[in-house]
Chain A
Amino acid sequence: MSRLEIDLPGLHLKNPVMPASGCFGFGREFGNLYNLSDLGAIMIKATTVEPRFGNPTPRVAETSAGMLNAIGLQNPGLEKVLNEELPWLAQYDVPIIANVAGSTEEDYVEVAKRISTAPNVHALELNISCPNVKTGGIAFGTIPEVAKSLTKKVKEVSEVPVYVKLSPNVTNIVEMAKAVEDGGADGLTMINTLLGMRLDLKSGNTILANKTGGLSGPAIKPVAIRMIYEVSQQVSIPIIGMGGIERAEDVIEFFYAGASAVAVGTANFVDPFACPKIIKDLPEILEQLGFDHISECTGRSWK
């Protein structure tokens, strides 16, 4: 068995590295650059019942060691994802984690019910933490009881394990994690972006048309590490960690904090070959650090 192979609820991963939702589209662009079967999994872009155009532009603004985005869950809608995007991805030997979004509980339930039947969807990622949509999204991700109830409803209809994506924009992340675990979540993915804003020097106006956006990139890595460190000690479900990962060393740090796999987001925008490079570098880092298997790193910081 390879020293990178990982088994998680619903997922047999060749390696623990996958592109994060919203940073990889539905894979087509990257499929031109390298073999997507090399990835551990793919977290596809958030899917809603109806197509969404998303927010007006500008939708991105750069910050020190990071970026703000307010895309607004642009996606072609459930039908197209089921009929076009997922069948296209089926040519690759890679499990898909479908990111499920909506404005109402019914929306989430409908997307989850149908998308979880796609043969290559091996798990769902419940997006209760998108900061860039006016309704739904963030409310589901900041009130523990609401998150728990939604998780329960989605679990009832899903054919595959359900991971819940947590927002860092809360006072008590452990409380949120425990609530969704109580609701039946099979795993957690964390963290989503931190709510931020940038202003233009000349006009004084916000740079993003949506005014606020989600901060991602290396700048948020310490926040992610801290939150995974806290949450992993309080729950018994696995965590897929994300937030500013760009090299193999970062992956090890996330595992030390308590993650069992990782997702790479913004780094894909800077270097489209970031994921395969990290996967290639990991065995050597493990060798240097004296680990036989990457799972030995999980929770090293507190075990």
Chain B
Amino acid sequence: MIVNENCTIVSQKEIAGNIHELILRGELSTEMQEPGQFVHVKVADGHDPLLRRPISIANINHEKKEFTLIYRLEGRGTTLLSTKKEYETVDILGPLGHGFPIEETNPGETALLVGGGIGVPPLYELSQQLVARGVKVIHILGFQTKEVVFYEEKFMELGETFVTTVDGTYGIKGFVTDVMKDLSFDTIYSCGPKAMLKALETNYAADKKVYLSLEERMGCGIGACFACVCHTADDPTGFSYKKVCTDGPVFKAGEVVL
């Protein structure tokens, strides 16, 4: 069920260059089940900015009724959100969308989790749920440069973890796809830049199950405004469509036009 609630800030801190981790407490956390879902955040009262900001859920703690959002300072909205302090509240609508299907990887099989930049956060909750299911996980986390790398240790606790940076200042120099060639796995779950998702679809969708989380500018986040639609792959120029906010954000590779 979708709930609107003023959630209380448990903590907020910068965990890498311009990357913030925000932990919130609220009853709506009890509605969060699927990894890869998101919440729609009203970053400030009043009219500027007017619309909510979609932010993926990085961690769910049902026991404490807490959840974690990790976001990058991009513009006015996220900058305003970053000024909020412990004990203040944030207006949250959620959980929204359909997340990653963990049941597509059987216990004992291996899942490859591929994240790019600010696409990394939802993979953390996903990885925990896969591990709890008895799935072996391998992570490849791609970042631009050393100072924006985050959560490496947390992912290492769950499974083998490779970090790449585009400029080579940390980990392996290059793109996530460079690392994949030597690995064996059964499924791919990914979230990150569109170019990365396209590369995964092109190279792996033919013989692996690949699930991709898309990003798109959203209005309402609940499927009413038709701002975030995309064409379906079987009708790329026709009338059939999927909404990223409600049909996604996670799609099976080959389902929609990237």
| A273 located at the interface, meaning its Cβ lies under 8 Å from any Cβ of chain B in the complex | yes
Chain B residue numbers with a CB within 8 Å of A65 are 47-48, 50
- Asked, given contacts A57-B216, A60-B217, whether A29 binds B227 with beta carbons under 8 Å apart, the answer is no
Are A60 and B50 in contact, with the CB atoms below 8 A?
Answer: no
Chain A residue numbers with a CB within 8 Å of B220 are 29, 268-269, 272
| B159 located at the interface, meaning its Cβ lies under 8 Å from any Cβ of chain A in the complex | no
Are A62 and B223 in contact, with the CB atoms below 8 A?
Answer: no
- The 3 A-B residue pairs with the shortest CB-CB distance in the complex, in nearest-first order: A65-B47, A269-B220, A51-B239
- The CA of A269 and the CA of B216, in the complex, are separated in Å by 16
Among B82-90, B175-183, B228-236, which stretch is in contact with chain A?
Answer: B228-236
Chain B residue numbers with a CB within 8 Å of A268 are 220, 224
- The contact of A269 among B1, B49, B225, by CB within 8 Å, is B225
Chain B residue numbers with a CB within 8 Å of A269 are 51-52, 219-220, 224-225
Q: In the complex, how many angstroms separate the beta carbon of B63 from the nearest chain A beta carbon?
A: 28
- Asked, given contacts A270-B42, A270-B52, whether A32 binds B226 with beta carbons under 8 Å apart, the answer is no
Q: In the complex, how many angstroms separate the beta carbon of A277 from the nearest chain B beta carbon?
A: 10
- Which B241-256 residues have C-beta < 8 A from chain A? 241, 246
- Asked, given contacts A29-B222, A53-B231, A60-B227, whether A218 binds B238 with beta carbons under 8 Å apart, the answer is no
Are A218 and B50 in contact, with the CB atoms below 8 A?
Answer: yes
- Which A215-246 residues have C-beta < 8 A from chain B? 217-219
- Asked, given contacts A64-B48, A270-B51, whether A71 binds B239 with beta carbons under 8 Å apart, the answer is no
Are A266 and B50 in contact, with the CB atoms below 8 A?
Answer: yes
Using an 8 Å CB-CB cutoff, how does the interface string of A1-33 with B read, 1 for contact, 0 for none? 000000000000000000000111100111011
- The CA of A205 and the CA of B121, in the complex, are separated in Å by 30
Q: In the complex, how many angstroms separate the beta carbon of A267 from the nearest chain B beta carbon?
A: 9
Q: In the complex, how many angstroms separate the beta carbon of A253 from the nearest chain B beta carbon?
A: 16
| B4 located at the interface, meaning its Cβ lies under 8 Å from any Cβ of chain A in the complex | yes
| B2 located at the interface, meaning its Cβ lies under 8 Å from any Cβ of chain A in the complex | yes
- The contact of B230 among A24, A45, A57, by CB within 8 Å, is A57
| B69 located at the interface, meaning its Cβ lies under 8 Å from any Cβ of chain A in the complex | no
Using an 8 Å CB-CB cutoff, how does the interface string of A187-219 with B read, 1 for contact, 0 for none? 000000000000000000000000000000111
Residue of A with least CB distance to B52:
A270
Chain B residue numbers with a CB within 8 Å of A58 are 216-217, 227
Q: What is the interface residue range for chain B against chain A?
A: 20 to 34
Q: With A33-B222, A62-B49 given, can you name 13 additional A-B contacts, CB distance below 8 Å? A: A29-B223, A32-B1, A53-B229, A57-B216, A57-B230, A60-B51, A65-B47, A65-B50, A67-B219, A74-B229, A217-B47, A266-B50, A270-B51
Chain B residue numbers with a CB within 8 Å of A51 are 239
Chain A residue numbers with a CB within 8 Å of B4 are 271-273
- The CA of A23 and the CA of B226, in the complex, are separated in Å by 9
| A136 located at the interface, meaning its Cβ lies under 8 Å from any Cβ of chain B in the complex | no
- The contact of B227 among A57, A66, A77, A270, by CB within 8 Å, is A57
Count residues of chain A with CB under 8 A from any CB of chain B.
Answer: 40
- List residues of chain A with CB under 8 Å of any chain B CB: 22-25, 28-30, 32-33, 45, 51-54, 57-67, 69, 71, 74, 76-77, 217-219, 266, 268-273
Residue picked from B42, B48, B52, B246, most chain A C-beta under 10 Å: B48
| B93 located at the interface, meaning its Cβ lies under 8 Å from any Cβ of chain A in the complex | yes
25 contacts between A and B (CB under 8 A): A22-B225, A24-B224, A29-B224, A30-B222, A51-B239, A57-B230, A59-B217, A59-B226, A59-B228, A62-B49, A64-B47, A65-B47, A65-B48, A67-B50, A69-B219, A69-B225, A217-B47, A218-B47, A268-B220, A269-B219, A270-B42, A270-B51, A271-B4, A272-B222, A272-B224
Residue of B with least CB distance to A63:
B50
- Asked, given contacts A64-B47, A71-B225, A272-B222, whether A76 binds B239 with beta carbons under 8 Å apart, the answer is yes
Residue picked from A25, A29, A217, A268, most chain B C-beta under 10 Å: A29
Q: In the complex, how many angstroms separate the beta carbon of B142 from the nearest chain A beta carbon?
A: 23
Chain A residue numbers with a CB within 8 Å of B231 are 53
- Asked, given contacts A64-B48, A271-B4, whether A53 binds B239 with beta carbons under 8 Å apart, the answer is yes
